[in-house]
Amino acid sequence: MVALSLGLALGTAAPASAHDGHQPPATRLFTPPPDKGAVKQITQLAKAHQWSDALALATMAATPQAVWFTEGTPAEVKRSVQKTMRQARLTHTIPVLVAYNLPFRDCSQYSAGGAADTASYLAWIDGFAAGIGSSKAIVLVEPDGLGIIPWYVPITDPKHLPEWCQPASLDPATAAADRFTQLNGAVDRLTALPDTKVYLDGTHSGWLGSGDIADRLHKAGVEKTDGFFLNVSNYETSERQAKYASWISQCLWYGTNPAEGGWRLGHFDYCGSQYYPATASDFSTWGLTDQWYLDNVTNAANPPSGPEVLKHAVVDTSRNGQGPWTAPAGSPSGDPQVWCNPPGRGLGLKPTLNTGNPYVDAYLWVKIPGESDGQCTRWAPDGGIDPVRGYADPAAGDWFPQMALELVHNANPSL
């Protein structure tokens, strides 16, 4: 009985029977084949008669998740995407595809890699887009692509100094502009597809202020897309992401609408955010920023503006069921890397296209739950050991059995 349950849990959605007479519209999200590490762990748990954990992990693996494309030639990525699209068509489901191959992605840190230059990247995107063709898909373009930009000077920095990502091999005078060229090129190619929804990187509510990310999204061509994605590979709560989504959407309108003589055009830095008038660490104050948007967008809009005409978000809920992690009191000084394999986290809301929130198109499992964020060393960068866990974490993208069990044990809502 347990073996049968595990087999059903790991199976994908069944296609309609051949005599249905027509292909039903895809309204469910695609479940890719499970990570090999997940299959291995489930098998080991079943052999040890740890049925509850085995079934929980199988249920996690059988939940719709994104498919990441991170490398290869244009021809190779085309074939890889086509394979996923065929699988999705067989199950009448909508795949969530992640394009993750920007030059200097992740500023050459834990998830280093990517195309060699702009021309190579756009050729790769051409292959990616060709693999989708006329089929239905949701595409998330380059996680961290707008959060981490080489040699970028944010609009919120009064000293006009570049952020921390400063690769010596890139020209400081052109590196940031190149990033926007790459993203605009990807947007143009992907939005030309007839049935693809496209979203750009919107970071998350524990990172950039809503005005800063709205400015970056505008420079990347968000007006041509369906919106932006939040919280990918992170742990911020869904409640906070929904508010953050509404602020970014309204800030995009505020900074691009010529109402009132156009004096605010381009001034995304005027927008309210989680940092002002709200206090980021005190959620009870976030209503102050809601009120800022009521005063400056909802009630001031000409013509009236609301979520039905603004950009929307999709939110990664794959690991945010317990919210973000805070380093224990008394931890050594240095970067706690709260984003990197924090302990005690849990699965969040299950993927759905029906969120009940006018600013949120979908809750998705984008980061594959159970895969490592990287070999975290936190405040002990030369130790090779994660000092919080007491052992070395797997490399980025490798299966992390201990964390996988934490995610199912602490799922909220429970599996």
| pLDDT over 70, % of the chain | 93
Model confidence pLDDT, tens digit, residues 397-410: 999 999 999 999 99
Residue, of 80 and 25, whose pLDDT is higher: 80
Lowest mean pLDDT among 20-24, 223-227, 239-243: 20-24
Lowest mean pLDDT among 68-72, 90-94, 225-229, 304-308: 304-308
Per-residue HEC secondary structure of the chain comes to CHHHHHHHHHCCCCCCCHHHCCCCCCCEECCCCCCHHHHHHHHHHHHCCCHHHHHHHHHHHCCCCCEEECCCCHHHHHHHHHHHHHHHHHHCEECEEEECCCCCHHHHCCCCCCCCCHHHHHHHHHHHHHHHCCCCEEEEECCCCCCCCCCCCCCCCCCCCCCCCCCCCCCCCCHHHHHHHHHHHHHHHHHCCCCEEEEEECCCCCCCCHHHHHHHHHHCCHHHCCEEEECCCCCCCHHHHHHHHHHHHHHHHHHHCCCHHHCCCCCHHHCCECCCECECCEHHHHHHHHHHHHHHHHCCCCCCCCCCCCCEEEEECCCCCCCCCCCCCCCCCCCCCCCCCCCCCCCCCCCECCCCCCCEEEEECCCCCCECCCCCCCCCCCCCCECCCCECCCCCCCECHHHHHHHHHCCCCCC
How confident is residue 235, by pLDDT bands cut at 50, 70 and 90?
A: very high
Q: What is the pTM of this model?
A: 0.93
Model confidence pLDDT, tens digit, residues 265-277: 889 999 999 999 9
Q: What pLDDT shows up at residue 383?
A: 76
How confident is residue 100, by pLDDT bands cut at 50, 70 and 90?
A: very high
Q: What does the mean pLDDT of the chain come to?
A: 92
Model confidence pLDDT, tens digit, residues 297-335: 988 777 777 788 899 999 999 999 999 999 999 999 999
Q: What pLDDT shows up at residue 24?
A: 53
Give the mean pLDDT of 160-180. 95
**76, pLDDT greater than 80:** yes
Q: What pLDDT shows up at residue 384?
A: 87
**136, pLDDT greater than 50:** yes
**159, pLDDT greater than 90:** no
**11, pLDDT greater than 70:** no
How confident is residue 201, by pLDDT bands cut at 50, 70 and 90?
A: very high
Q: What pLDDT shows up at residue 19?
A: 35
**91, pLDDT greater than 90:** yes
How confident is residue 21, by pLDDT bands cut at 50, 70 and 90?
A: very low
Give the mean pLDDT of 4-29. 50
Lowest mean pLDDT among 24-38, 195-209, 227-241, 347-361: 24-38
How confident is residue 382, by pLDDT bands cut at 50, 70 and 90?
A: confident
Model confidence pLDDT, tens digit, residues 287-297: 999 999 999 99
| pLDDT over 90, % of the chain | 83
**10, pLDDT greater than 60:** no
Among 104-118, 235-249, 297-311, name the most confident range: 235-249
Q: What pLDDT shows up at residue 17?
A: 34
How confident is residue 26, by pLDDT bands cut at 50, 70 and 90?
A: low
Q: What pLDDT shows up at residue 6?
A: 52
